[in-house]
Amino acid sequence: MDVVDLREFYASPLGKATRRILAPRLTRAIGPLREQTVLGLGFAPPYFEALEAGNARLLAFMPGRQGVIQWPEGNRVSSVLVDEFDLPLLESTADVVLIIHALEVSDSPAELLREAWRVLAPQGRLVLVVPNRRGLWAGLDSSPFGQGQPYSRGQLTALLKEAQFSAQGWTYALRMPPSQREWVHKAAPAFERTGGWLGSRLSGVIIVEATKQVYAFSPGKRARRLVPRLSPVLLPRPASVSRDVTGTSLGISAGNQ
């Protein structure tokens, strides 16, 4: 989905119900904001709008293939189109990184997480929202949570470990069916409570809170160098045949003479 599809989804009744369920959970995961820098990678504006930002700096980075919209409207623009593998930030800049609608559609999820590790401060926190591969939402193409690669808890654990993150908390949410029926949206809180008894199988998304492993180091961005496996050898010039303008051979001259 591009930004137009995502904006239309969150403007729909199903999208509004989705936001009402996920926004409080993400607000608790992000925690109280003071003068922090919060980076949203993917499509974070619907959830940024639920935060009490105060003096915090909210940055909405949207991947190139997805596209970008102006956010917020009527104020200084805080959204930008980026290469998700080369974010325009210095190392250890962000205090919190929220990744939503990005990891599951990335060409290289591990590289995306490593870039998030690079821009996070030493005590920074990662909040990751991904589709649950066991949930009903992963099979709905008309939802942004039905796009790309859904994940299980075990897959996310391995991916975070590879990217030098330590998972601190797991939350399963969005247990209501992905239906356009109004009664389903009104009953969303009841679905969330009932789904808690049934376990994680019905949840649409997995929310992971992780911290940056400060004892690890960033390899940085290094240019690849091509090293020949064989030593170069100079070859003698081949013998050449001289011809006149009529094409008649005049003789052979050796290349070394």
**Tens-digit pLDDT profile for residues 116-139:** 999 999 989 999 999 999 888 888
In a domain, 254, yes or no: no
Which residues is 100 bridged to in the sheet? Answer: 42, 129
In a domain, 186, yes or no: yes
In a domain, 231, yes or no: no
Amino acid 239: pLDDT: 54
CA-closest candidate to residue 64, choices 3, 16, 9, 18: 3
State the chain's mean pLDDT as an integer.
83
Segment 18-37, tens digit of pLDDT? 999 999 999 999 988 888 99
Average pLDDT, integer, range 82-102: 95
What is the domain range of residue 17? 3-212
Residue 181 burial by Cβ neighbours in a 10 Å radius (0-12, 13-18, 19+): exposed
In a domain, 24, yes or no: yes
In a domain, 244, yes or no: no
In a domain, 222, yes or no: no
Angle of helix 109-119 relative to helix 153-162, nearest 10 degrees, comes to: 50
> How far is residue 38 CA from its own chain's centroid?
15
In a domain, 133, yes or no: yes
Q: Is the pLDDT confidence value at 190 over 80?
A: no
Amino acid 255: pLDDT: 45
Residue 122: CATH number of its domain: 3.40.50.150
Comparing 87 with 73, which gets the higher pLDDT? 87
Amino acid 213: pLDDT: 83
In a domain, 93, yes or no: yes
Segment 217-233, tens digit of pLDDT? 555 554 444 344 444 44
pTM of the full predicted structure? 0.80
Count structural domains, the chain: 1
Segment 58-80, tens digit of pLDDT? 999 999 989 999 998 877 899 99
